[in-house]
Amino acid sequence: MATRLFGEPIARTEDARLVTGQGRFLDDLGHDALAAAFVRSPHAHARILDIDVTPALDAGGLVAVYTYEDLPGRVGEPLPLLIPHPALTHGRTGYPLARDVVRHVGEPVVMVVATDRYAAEDAAAAIQVTYEPLPAVVGIENAAAARHLVHDDVPGNVAAVLVQQTGDAPAAIAAAPHRLELDLAIERSASMPLEGRGVYARYDPDDGRLRVHTSTQASTSVRMAIAAKLEMPPVQVDVVTPDVGGGFGVKVVHPWPEEVLLPWAARTLAGGGAPVEIKWAEDRREHFVSSAHERGQLQHVRVGFDDAGRVLGLDVEIRHDNGAYTPYGIIVPIVTSTQLLGPYKIGAYRVAATSLYTNTVIVTPYRGAGRPQGVFCMERTMDAIAAALGRDRADVRAANLIRPEEFPYDQGLTFQDGRPLIYDSGNYPKQLEMIRDLIGWDDFAALRERARAEGRRLGIGLGCYVEGTGVGPYEGGHVQVDTSGKVHVATGLTSQGQGHRTVFAQIAADELGVPLADVEVTTGDTRRFGYAVGTFASRAAVLSGNAIALAARKVRDKALRIAGEALEADPRDLEIVDGVVRVAGSPSASIPLRTVAVLANPLRYAFDADAAAATQFAGTGPGDDEPPVAPGTEPGLEGRDYYSPPRATFASGMHAAIVETDPETAEMRVLRYAVVHDCGPMINPRIVEGQIHGGVAQGIAGSLYERLVYDETGQLLNASFMDFLMPYATEIPHIESDHLETPSPLNPLGIKGAGEAGVIPVPAVIAAAIEDAEGIPIHSMPITPSDLHTLRSHP
């Protein structure tokens, strides 16, 4: 057997293109396309009194100007509410172009189309919109106070109230030997991929087809949404995802206004004439004020516990800022509510999440998708329990962990996929042991004392999480061996840097017995695979990885059947090695896979020398009484299959950090950062490590640097990279990691997702370490030196 590629840390097949400038991102396409630009609201909340486009009409290169009034039929209807939920009683979505009222700075009001982007921006700048400003609702407390409303018909600014419980938490807390309460806060941040969103639409009246390239995480659903809005048959709409410069959640929302408006405008401007192409590439300021944010929550915790620190009852009130609209439903508060439980057995639990409207940018999942907030809540609670009891923080956690023999473990709640929150597998005590070893938990007291003797302050923190990954409903894979022996793999979900082409090729190459170099993978192109859900929730490897494995097994079975006929051998005696089907133990009896591919497609016409082998007089077909294509089979050496999981699979991890705080300046520096991670068997450990590194960096960013700051009028004060402090290499510590591989019993490959893991517990870990260094409770993240300085004088 050739070496198994699954599990090998091979270099990525994506990189050769990307390091030579041959990547093709959205704005690298369509050089000759018309360009769109948008007039966006400068007000957080205002009534539109008048839109005067006449000053723009003389602008050079102007092609068209559109306002809400111009949008016909379904194009002018509100954007879809993608994930309805019974608790979302007052879901609201915006219009592609604002109708009468704007509800956040950055909401699109007018679309301009011109010959290039410079001309489009000139025209957009000339358009005059008259607004009557309305009172803006900014901040969770103000939203809850509801002195003003974001939507006139949404009382209290409340979009949803979601209560989940298992057991009687209030009673358990009341009866517990110890009780405490905490108020916690996490501020807004954002995915902030280095490539913004972008759409490039081409409509061809000759064949009535629309092709849309979009920087999305969900191309098949964008296609369905566009088809619905434009009232076109989906088969006439192709959506192609080019190289995507990062997503981290923000690009899973769809259809964005631009994804509806550009295709519609291309079709409208084309009329019955020549094809029309229009492109829009979001600029950075637009991304800050018109894409999505996440994180902002306030939490109130009541917990009852015993002398060992075991949690007997936990009652959490979450107030979640969902921004101006709820196109992505209440997924973020659902995830916070459920994943808050982490690796722990909680006696009784009640959580009430209230999702509130504010006059700010919409809030939709950003890597972690509500988990960092939930883990912050639970881990700060664990630390508070340890402090109250005078016990070691790791020991308190150990007392609460689910034991390995208790899987599958039912947490008694409903997860974000609507399925029961049942953990499939894991080994949390082992992880705790590993993280203690990796960071040197038990030796830290001595280290701290040595530092103290030098006038330095050190603290250590620990955070644990469980992440539901690989949620359904499904993904599919298509595997085709062509007559040159090349293997073409397609799956519908999209890629934003995760290395899918590499890991899916590893899986397909193993299953088929072909060299890695013979496998090419396409993702996110509806022309190649039309059925898919999307890339989010750390699901791509689990869903598409398994689907591709299943599809490849079908192809393998077919190849062995056809080769068996050709070699007059029992398919059960055959193996495929390096792209050649051979009789195991008798390698001389063999047939290359490419020849099997020829034979798999019975032909009349010999268009080349290979094809001649499959023609009717070549003597390679079945007997005279058999149909050339056997019943129940299809021509071609290809196969398609789907993987649909019963429910999510649960990855997990524990992080620890040692942080130094400056007694004078209150600067905080992460001296060491350690990660123990379990996503089941790793397809490519190098890629998993990379995902962890990137996730931790985003976690550090959200702990010490990044926050989106709105003033009381709803202006985003730091809508640029000058003011929103994304960390450079100088700010991110070296990350030490160790892995545990507990297989999932739920899928054929036994794998779990890894994409979001790194980011999840970081704010909890950093807060714990700073609290430990300073002896001051840290209940709000992110934290700046200025914040810490203030806390020192007013804890």
Partner 1 sequence: MSRPAEEPRHAITLTVNGTPYAVEVPARRLLSDCLRHDLRLTGTHVGCEHGVCGCCTVLLDGAPVRSCLTFAVTVDGHAVETVEGLAAGGEPSAVQRAFGECHALQCGFCTPGFLMTATALLRETPDPTDEEIVEGISGNLCRCTGYQNIVAAVRRAAASERT
Q: Which residue, 490 or 687, has its beta carbon nearer to partner 1?
A: 687
Helices (H), 57-134: 117-126
Least gap, CB of 511 to partner 1 (angstroms): 24
Residues 444-483: x where in contact with partner 1 by CB under 8 A, - otherwise, as a string: ----------------------------------------
Least gap, CB of 601 to partner 1 (angstroms): 36
The SS3 assignment for 450 reads helix
- Asked if 59 is part of the footprint of partner 1 (rule: CB under 8 A), the reply reads yes
- Asked if 245 is part of the footprint of partner 1 (rule: CB under 8 A), the reply reads yes
CB atoms within 10 A of CB 740: 19
Q: Which residue, 229 or 539, has its beta carbon nearer to partner 1?
A: 539
Q: For the chain, give the number of residues.
A: 795
Task: Record the tokens describing residue 71, joined without a space.
Answer: 């949008």
Burial class (CB in 10 A: 0-12, 13-18, 19+), 762: buried
Residues 278-337 interacting with partner 1 (rule: CB under 8 A): 283-284
Say how many Å lie between the first and final Cα of the chain, rounded.
64
Q: What is the greatest pairwise CA distance in the chain? A: 94
783 and 762 in contact (C-beta within 8 Å)?
no
- Asked if 28 is part of the footprint of partner 1 (rule: CB under 8 A), the reply reads yes
Q: Of the candidates 730, 786, 793, 794, which one interacts with partner 1 according to CB under 8 A?
A: 730
Distance CA 223, CA 526 (A): 8
- Asked if 20 is part of the footprint of partner 1 (rule: CB under 8 A), the reply reads yes
Q: Of the candidates 365, 370, 497, 782, which one interacts with partner 1 according to CB under 8 A?
A: 497
109 CB-near residues (< 8 Å, 6+ apart)? 38, 39, 40, 41, 48, 51, 67, 97, 98, 102, 129
User: Which among 278, 256, 83, 85 is positioned nearest to 163, based on CA atoms?
Assistant: 85
Residues 609-628 interacting with partner 1 (rule: CB under 8 A): none
374-401 burial by CB neighbour count: b if 16+ within 10 A, else e?
A: bbbbbbbbbbbbbbebeeebbebbbbbb
- Asked if 50 is part of the footprint of partner 1 (rule: CB under 8 A), the reply reads no
Q: Of the candidates 195, 294, 511, 772, which one interacts with partner 1 according to CB under 8 A?
A: 195
Q: Which residue, 56 or 778, has its beta carbon nearer to partner 1?
A: 56
- Asked if 756 is part of the footprint of partner 1 (rule: CB under 8 A), the reply reads no
The SS3 assignment for 564 reads helix
Q: Which residue, 13 or 400, has its beta carbon nearer to partner 1?
A: 13
- Asked if 717 is part of the footprint of partner 1 (rule: CB under 8 A), the reply reads no
- Asked if 130 is part of the footprint of partner 1 (rule: CB under 8 A), the reply reads no
Q: Which residue, 116 or 565, has its beta carbon nearer to partner 1?
A: 116
The SS3 assignment for 315 reads strand
Q: Which residue, 162 or 687, has its beta carbon nearer to partner 1?
A: 687
Residues 547-586: x where in contact with partner 1 by CB under 8 A, - otherwise, as a string: ----------------------------------------
- Asked if 52 is part of the footprint of partner 1 (rule: CB under 8 A), the reply reads no
Q: Which residue, 347 or 758, has its beta carbon nearer to partner 1?
A: 758
Distance CA 228, CA 246 (A): 27
User: Which among 491, 526, 66 is positioned nearest to 280, based on CA atoms?
Assistant: 66
Burial class (CB in 10 A: 0-12, 13-18, 19+), 116: middle
Task: Record the tokens describing residue 542, joined without a space.
Answer: 């689990």
Give residue 670's identity as a one-letter amino acid code. Answer: V
- Asked if 686 is part of the footprint of partner 1 (rule: CB under 8 A), the reply reads yes
Distance CA 203, CA 266 (A): 6
Q: Of the candidates 18, 49, 235, 709, which one interacts with partner 1 according to CB under 8 A?
A: 18
- Asked if 697 is part of the footprint of partner 1 (rule: CB under 8 A), the reply reads yes
Least gap, CB of 367 to partner 1 (angstroms): 10
Least gap, CB of 431 to partner 1 (angstroms): 21
CB atoms within 10 A of CB 129: 21
Give residue 759's identity as a one-letter amino acid code. Answer: V
Distance CA 702, CA 755 (A): 17
- Asked if 689 is part of the footprint of partner 1 (rule: CB under 8 A), the reply reads yes
Q: Of the candidates 50, 58, 625, 664, which one interacts with partner 1 according to CB under 8 A?
A: 58
**Residue 204: HSE in the Cβ half-sphere, 13 Å Cα cutoff:** 8
- Asked if 122 is part of the footprint of partner 1 (rule: CB under 8 A), the reply reads yes
In sequence order, the β-bridge partners of residue 738 are 676
- Asked if 720 is part of the footprint of partner 1 (rule: CB under 8 A), the reply reads yes
Q: Of the candidates 728, 786, 793, 794, which one interacts with partner 1 according to CB under 8 A?
A: 728
Q: Of the candidates 71, 75, 97, 126, which one interacts with partner 1 according to CB under 8 A?
A: 126
Least gap, CB of 264 to partner 1 (angstroms): 25
Q: Which residue, 122 or 641, has its beta carbon nearer to partner 1?
A: 122
Please choose, out of 497-505, 570-578, 630-638, 657-665, the segment that lies near partner 1 by the rule CB under 8 A: 497-505
- DSSP element (H, E) containing 436: helix 428-439
Q: Tokens 């076109």 map to which residue? A: 232
Residues 347-366: x where in contact with partner 1 by CB under 8 A, - otherwise, as a string: --------------------
Task: Record the tokens describing residue 37, joined without a space.
Answer: 């630009």
Distance CA 134, CA 148 (A): 9
Task: Record the tokens describing residue 485, joined without a space.
Answer: 């022996």
Q: Of the candidates 2, 7, 8, 25, which one interacts with partner 1 according to CB under 8 A?
A: 25
Q: Of the candidates 14, 258, 511, 638, which one interacts with partner 1 according to CB under 8 A?
A: 14
Please choose, out of 68-76, 339-347, 477-485, 491-499, the segment that lies near partner 1 by the rule CB under 8 A: 491-499
Please choose, out of 148-156, 463-471, 531-539, 722-730, the segment that lies near partner 1 by the rule CB under 8 A: 722-730
User: Which among 251, 272, 201, 196 is positioned nearest to 230, based on CA atoms?
Assistant: 201
Tell how far CA 646 is from the center of its chain: 20
Q: Of the candidates 631, 734, 793, 794, which one interacts with partner 1 according to CB under 8 A?
A: 734
Residues that bind partner 1 (CB under 8 A): 11-12, 14-25, 27-28, 31, 55, 58-61, 118, 122, 126, 192-195, 243-246, 248, 283-284, 496-499, 686-687, 689-690, 693-698, 720-722, 726, 728-730, 732, 734-735, 758
